[in-house]
Amino acid sequence: MDANKRQRYEKISEELTRLVGGRENIQGVAHCATRLRIVLKDNDLADLKSIEDVNLAKGVFVAGDQVQIIFGAGLVNDVYEVFAESNNMKNMSLSDLKTEANKKMNPLQRIIKALSDVFVDIMPGILAAALLTGLSGVLGNMEFVKGNDTLYGINTLINIASGAIFGFLPLAVAYSACKRFGGRPILGIVIGCIMLSNSLADAYAAAQGTAEVTTLHIFGFGVELVGFQGGIIVALLMGFVTAKLDQFFEKKVPEVIRLLISPLLTTLVGALLLFTIIGPIGRGLSSGITNALVWMTQNLGVIGYSAFSGLQQLVVITGLHHIFGAIEAQLLADTGRNFLNPLMSVAIIAQGGAVLGYLFLHRNNTKVKELCIPSFVSVLFGITEPALFGINIRYRFPIIGGCIGGALGGIVVYITNLAAIGFGTTVVPGIALADPAGNGYINYIIAHGIAIAGGFIMTLILGKIMDRPQEEKSCKESGKEKGLESMRSLVGKEKEGTAEAKEEQTEIPEKEIFYGYADGQLIAMEDVKDETFANKVLGDGIAVLPSAGKIYAPADGTVLSVFDTKHAVCFQSSSGTEILIHIGVDTVNLKGKYFTVHVKDGDVVKRGQLMVEFDREQIEKAGYDTVIPMIFTDLADGKVLEKETPGLMKPDKQAVAVCKE
């Protein structure tokens, strides 16, 4: 690193240290491919707004209890080196940083995170069941389906499929929970099978008094042999208990008999606890939660509904919203209807309306458009984090407008008695889950229309009162914005070499073609489930959901750098266009495991040449999204991307073209 660069980074380091609350407030620091990640003792001491204006910084947010500052590929390595050195935190790994971050979580936060992790694994099955249920409900109401033997038969099979998945949901939850808490997943499946055993009376039939229940007497206590159909909370508790029993017996049982005795003891003790302690406690919790929610609908009426939908997105900010999945599942199991889903859905779309309101107020600002449009697209699919953290909370008044819009949508949900027959998806995809009874689909659209309109209008009104027009900004602020805009072209350029060398490179032609870099499904960058990529903070591009574990060069060019963790490659085409190919989301945490690199820094490669191989299945099993964004980090002025329509992607197929505007 030359003296001028180091001096520049030292100034950045000094400013960052001051803005995060001083050296004594820094608990740990590490970096991934694009972000400097800092764990602070007290996040409230950090001035996040001022950090956004730090030289070369492209954005900042708090995630996983880490302050993450986006600098971009290559540049972040140098900034980290100087920052860590000046704060005496050299050589700290990402796993070390996560350990430090987890120490800051209170017990409630750990519980919420655990619940989220459990449902992430089984969410595809839940969504499949919910969508199949919705499809069956729609087809079942059509006369021509009832009158056609084939269509009626197909719909019956659809109904069976959806009911089966929900019927065995406790088993899936027990499996996922056991896996999450460190036990062998198969033991979670075994406990789930015991919960749903045919030897037990069906829980629903027992509740209606139509099934004979056998009672055992163990240590003087009566134990009723009733199944746990719909026992989501019981399954969560048993998954945790089974994992801890498995860990305990694996340590205590002698190795010579461990394979036979350890799982036997885990299953036996787990089954005893299920019927004597965990089951009754779990049933009590389930009943309490369901009764409380039903009480709210019966006694608080429209006030309860509007308060929930108005404030629900504030709960998202805290991360506590992940617990709703378990509550929704239990509500469905107990009542067959989920009124929380449409309430959360209108709360989400209302924040989208607030984004549109802010965009309208600043419709002549290009940077606002770049931020608002992809954020709103994410909202349409139920993802509000980009909108919340990128716009609504950042500028304050849009979050208020969105909350008011959500409350208005909640009123419509109450008036129309709108509910869902599943959970796990909201907004546009969520319409498939709406209970069709009582014109449910139409009411769903009306509720969302009022919510988005309410968020939009209230944001306009509040913006006129609270937002200072762009033209009234001081010269100092305007100059700072221009300075930040000019830094956009520096992403990926802070590498070995000089600016003079950069200028000597071949000029980009009128049209430059980049071909597919992986086999799989081409998707829009906005659909990537990571706010940094989806909001195009690092630049525009495309992404691929891979069907195989190989990355190819998308054009003739040079490998600028391969990250030590092997999950990302910086590449420069022969015409000088730079791209970043990033394999997966947060896969930096794997520290190179499951990746094999076939190129090195400085290698000249041909289009279609194999650069990286990775074990897609193992990475997914480890819990990581394997989507592969290809980002144009320094697109020249006057150049735009022409993208292929989403579909199947092959290495010999054009993926994107860089063209003149």
In whole angstroms, give the CA distance from residue 26 to residue 368: 32
32 is catalytic: yes
Within 10 angstroms of residue 538's Cβ, the number of other Cβ atoms is 27
Residue 131: φ, ψ to 5°: -70, -40
Which phi and psi angles does 434 have, rounded to 5°?
A: -65, 140
Q: Which helix (H) or strand (E) holds 614?
A: strand 610-614
Residues in the chain: 661
How many angstroms separate the CA atoms of 633 and 539, rounded?
5
- What number of other Cβ atoms are within 10 A of residue 578's Cβ? 24
Asked whether the beta carbons of 153 and 145 are under 8 A apart, the reply is: no
Q: How distant is the alpha carbon of residue 584 from its chain centre?
A: 13
The residue whose two tokens read 């100034």 is 11
Q: Cα(11)–Cα(239) distance, rounded to whole angstroms?
A: 50
SS (H, E, C) 573-585: ECCCCEEEEECCC
Sign of the CA dihedral with 89 first, then 91, 97, and 99 last: negative
Separation between Cα atoms, residue 294 and residue 334, nearest integer Å:
11
Out of 32, 372, 403, 570, the active site residue is 32
Distances (CA, A) of 331 to 290, 328, 339, 641: 6, 5, 9, 47
- What are the two backbone dihedrals, phi and then psi, of residue 447, each rounded to the nearest 5 degrees? -60, -40
Q: Residue by residue, what is the 3-state secondary structure of 476-487?
A: HHHHHHHHHHHH
Contact criterion met (CB below 8 Å) for 63 and 113 = no
Name 268's Cβ contacts closer than 8 Å, sequence gap at least 6: none
Catalytic (active-site) positions: 32
